[in-house]
């Protein structure tokens, strides 16, 4: 059985669509694009961060 990919849920306000962004292979950030306009988003992973799993991107 394969391990589930870790992700964050993102509401892309640019196009009013929901998408998921996934952890990069280095494990240093969650990265992805708006599924409609392909605007890029990156969320760093680090000490003192948050436990939230859902965000808005503007």
Query: What is the three-class DSSP state of 11?
Result: strand
pTM to 2 decimal places: 0.86
Tens of pLDDT, residue by residue over 6-51, are 999 999 999 999 999 999 999 999 999 999 999 999 999 999 889 9
Query: What is the three-class DSSP state of 20?
Result: strand
Tens of pLDDT, residue by residue over 13-22, are 999 999 999 9
The pair of structure tokens assigned to 21 is 């962004």
């Amino acid at each position: 059985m394969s391990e589930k990919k870790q992700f964050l849920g993102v509401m892309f306000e640019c196009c009013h669509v929901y998408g998921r962004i996934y952890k990069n292979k280095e494990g240093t950030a969650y990265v992805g694009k708006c599924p409609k306009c392909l605007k890029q988003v990156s969320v760093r992973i680090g000490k003192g961060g948050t436990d939230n799993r859902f965000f808005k991107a503007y």
